[in-house]
Structure 1
């Protein structure tokens, strides 16, 4: 599995699914480690996108 091709949301869903199916704990740890590495590397794009979209929405009202 190439974790770099997964989006953050896909990675979070993979972790959730793996935990629900009680898959190998080493696999779950690997997914969580990748997600933490991404979160510590840079702020999420969605939060910056939200900040730019909200003022635009208010101007159109």
Structure 2
């Protein structure tokens, strides 16, 4: 699976985020659709871990 295909799969799994793969940066980038901060990681695994942390933080802040 290419990084772009992986990003598309992650984008389907995380509906609150727009997830892309940076061709030049070689990072997975997650942009929040409603509020919050941009999340970036070098691997899909790390991005999923960070998105889990970001979701947990946003759930407790409301």
- TM-score normalized by the length of structure 1: 0.36
Could you say which structure has the greater relative contact order, defined with CA pairs below 8 angstroms and 6 or more residues apart? 1
Q: Which has the larger radius of gyration?
A: 1
**Under a length normalisation based on structure 2, what TM-score does the superposition of the two structures give?**
0.35
Structure whose residues are more often helix by fraction? 1
Greater strand fraction, Structure 1 or Structure 2: 2
